[in-house]
Structure 1
Amino acid sequence: MTDRALSREGVWLLLSELWLDTQLDGFGLRHIADQLRTSGLARAELESIYLYEVAPVVWLNHWSVAGVWDGFDPQWLSEACRRNQQRGRWNRFKCRLLRRPMTYGCRAEWQQILARL
């Protein structure tokens, strides 16, 4: 990614890395935080994207025995996240109910990223 402002699709791709079947080290977490900073989005907006747009799409990867490890298909991810972005209150309510299982596998990494923003 360049120094230009990060697109929303770029934010979706970066955040989806938290659910890959790989271990992120300090360098990887710093990279994600640095790139998220270039998006120009407020921290609250980034948290909303994390919880309501990306997590509902990719969370089952952490619960899979042989999950995706090399990256989610960008087109598939963008289409699914865009659908979540356009959904209303019922989707947000459902996401609140499922928040713990959806973020279980990456909650610590997300907190480290937030601390770096």
Structure 2
Amino acid sequence: MTRRALSAVEVEVRLPVWDAIADLFLDTVVDTPMLQRVADELARSPFSIDELRQIYLFEVAPVVHRNLKIVAGEWAGFGREWLRERIPAYLARGSWLFHGWSASPLGRRWHTFQTRADFQSVILQVAAIRAPG
């Protein structure tokens, strides 16, 4: 789990992944074409399946999960600039107290209960896309 400030290069490499994962937290219908777009983006990334899970759980979900818990959440997209600002700021707050809830099993469930099944579906698609042959 990342609990440190990210370099500008690390942010740029992660940004397409953050953007794709954040789409799972939009107040819209999640359909097969959308899941495929997310999977395609994640499959193009340099991150392993485990790293993608870590990014989902500890970088994206803690920042955007509230969108699905409000009455009129964002539906058009968070925007890469918004993510570029918010996720590194969240990660730079390095105290255990601040990240303790997010890293706890209960915190992870709270942040992801509405997207967990969709993310798992995406991860299975990423594995299939990356499979040799």
The two structures have a TM-score, normalised by structure 1, of 0.86
Greater displacement, 66-75 / 91-100: 91-100
Letter in 2 for 1:74: R
TM-aligned CA deviation for residue 86 of structure 1: 3.7
How many residue pairs get matched?
112
Task: Say whether residues 1:93 and 2:93 are aligned partners.
Answer: no
Q: Which runs of 5+ in 1 are unaligned?
A: 1-5
1: CA distance, partners of 2:46 / 2:80 = 21
Following superposition, the deviation at residue 94 of structure 1 comes to 1.7
In 2, Cα distance between the equivalents of 1:73 and 1:42? 24
1:12 aligns with 2:18: yes
Q: Secondary structure at the match of 2:78?
A: coil
Deviation at 1:80, TM superposition (A): 1.4
Partner amino acid for 1:114? I
Q: Deviations over 1:63-104 (max 9, x none)?
A: 000000000132221121112344447255321231111111
TM-score by length of 2: 0.76
- Match of 1:64? 70
Once the 2 structures are TM-superposed, how far is the Cα of residue 27 of structure 1 from its aligned partner?
1.3
CA RMSD, aligned part only?
1.7
Structure with the greater alpha carbon radius of gyration: 2
Which of 115, 119, 122 is the aligned partner of 1:113? 122
71-80 or 9-18: which moved more? 71-80
Report how far residue 17 of structure 1 moved.
Answer: 0.3
Which shifted more, 73-82 or 28-37?
73-82
Q: Is the 8 A contact 2:19 2:79 kept in 1?
A: no
Flag structure 2 segments of 5+ consecutive residues without an equivalent: 1-11, 127-133
Superposition pairs for residues 77-92 of structure 1, below 5 Å?
77-88=83-94, 90=96, 91-92=98-99
Could you tell me which amino acid in structure 2 is paired with residue 77 of structure 1? L
Question: 1:48 matched to which residue of 2?
Answer: 54
